[in-house]
Amino acid sequence: MGKGAGRVLVRLWSAGLIQGALALGGNQGSAAGGTALQALPLGVPKILLSTVASGNIRPFVGSRDIFVIFSVVDFVGGPNQLSRQILSRAATSLLQMARSWGALLPSPDLKNLVALSALGNTTPLVENCLQQLPVLGMEGVVFHASGAGGAAMEDLIRAGWFSAVLDLTTHELVGEALGYDIYTPTQPGRLQAAAELGLPMVVSVGGLDYYVFGAPSTIPEHLRDRKTLLHNPFNANVALKTEEFARVAEALCHRLNPARGPVALIIPLKGFSQYGEEGGPFWNPEGIEIFVRTVQSNLSSRHHLHILNAPINSSQVVKVAISELRKFLGGGRAKG
């Protein structure tokens, strides 16, 4: 039902008959309505008025920019004096958005944008790369590698927003390769958009050494004997086992090998995250060694492989990443 409603919404929007959409409901209505809203392009105003907005809304939102409003009251029995005010406010919000917003479309003169991926564990690396991009005449746009962020990045790459990709935090592959991780992409296929389009890709292994879950109670039973750190009370990180590094490395190579454009892969031997740095709680040199051997055996010889004796957030990784990007872009691009 939700997918069918989504197709109807897209037809109406494409024909210029609607400028936005509002869905409302409880659990069932939010599932159908959220699925329908996800069919509309990024930027088109979308509101979900839901009785279960404080629960797990990931399936209702996916990687789309949907405004979710807790309805406060239920809708059983039809509108009443209280719910009419709530419905009116949601409708007014959509009206105001529709008057000001439209689909996120790259302008005809768009140029020199680079997509980057990040987590808290790789923020120093990403921030330092961002500081270097203007030297190349480039501007960076950062996506949180949280499942939705990576999927949104893939969508916007396909939409033509970016000239190149610094995909330094590929953590979402953990969920695709191993399952369980709550940062599994909301749409499968991380790394595929740039590879298919032939964009220059500088890739690293940020966050490929641990799982991400919610509160500790959400960690699957079979993983509870692992090293665990609380990123915050609602975000638990769980270390990968040594043999799991090989499976993630295979998945990474599988995604990079078909790339039509230039690719550089950077592997820092002293840790894939702040937690996984040498001496850190997730430090696993055996896992990193297996990861490197697997990549060396599986990565296409067309791609550039850099193995650095440094942690991921080091200046060495920044230097190589920017150097490779500069080469791929032909020495940098003119500002303007």
Q: Which residues contact 281 (CB under 8 A, 6 or more apart)?
A: 227, 229, 239, 275
Counting Cβ atoms within 10 Å, is residue 328 exposed (0-12), middle (13-18) or buried (19+)?
buried
pLDDT at 101 (0 to 100): 86
Mean pLDDT, residues 303-325: 98
Both tokens assigned to 114: 């680079």
Q: Which residues contact 48 (CB under 8 A, 6 or more apart)?
A: 22, 23, 24, 30, 33, 34, 37, 57, 60, 61, 66, 67, 68, 69
What confidence tens digit (pLDDT) does each residue in 60-108 have? 999 999 999 999 999 999 999 999 999 999 999 999 999 998 998 888 7
pTM to 2 decimal places: 0.90
pLDDT category at 335 given cuts 50, 70, 90 is very low
Residue 299 scores a pLDDT above 70? yes
Tell me what percent of the residues of the chain surpass a pLDDT of 90: 93
Strand partners, 25: 50
What confidence tens digit (pLDDT) does each residue in 267-281 have? 999 999 999 999 999
Q: Beta-carbon neighbour count of residue 334 at 10 Å?
A: 8
Both tokens assigned to 152: 């949104």
pLDDT at 331 (0 to 100): 65
Mean pLDDT, residues 44-69: 94
Domain ranges of the chain: 2-100, 113-325
CATH for 2-100, among 3.30.470.10, 3.30.1600.10, 3.40.640.10, 3.40.50.12020?
Answer: 3.40.50.12020
2-100 and 113-325 have identical folds: yes
Q: Which residues contact 61 (CB under 8 A, 6 or more apart)?
A: 34, 38, 48, 68, 148
Lowest model confidence (mean pLDDT) among 111-115, 151-155, 330-334: 330-334
Q: Which residues contact 198 (CB under 8 A, 6 or more apart)?
A: 259, 260, 261
Q: What mean pLDDT is reported for the chain? A: 95
Match 């190149």 to its residue by tokens: 164
What is the CATH code of the structural domain delimited by 113-325? Answer: 3.40.50.12030
Residue 56 scores a pLDDT above 90? no
pLDDT category at 336 given cuts 50, 70, 90 is very low
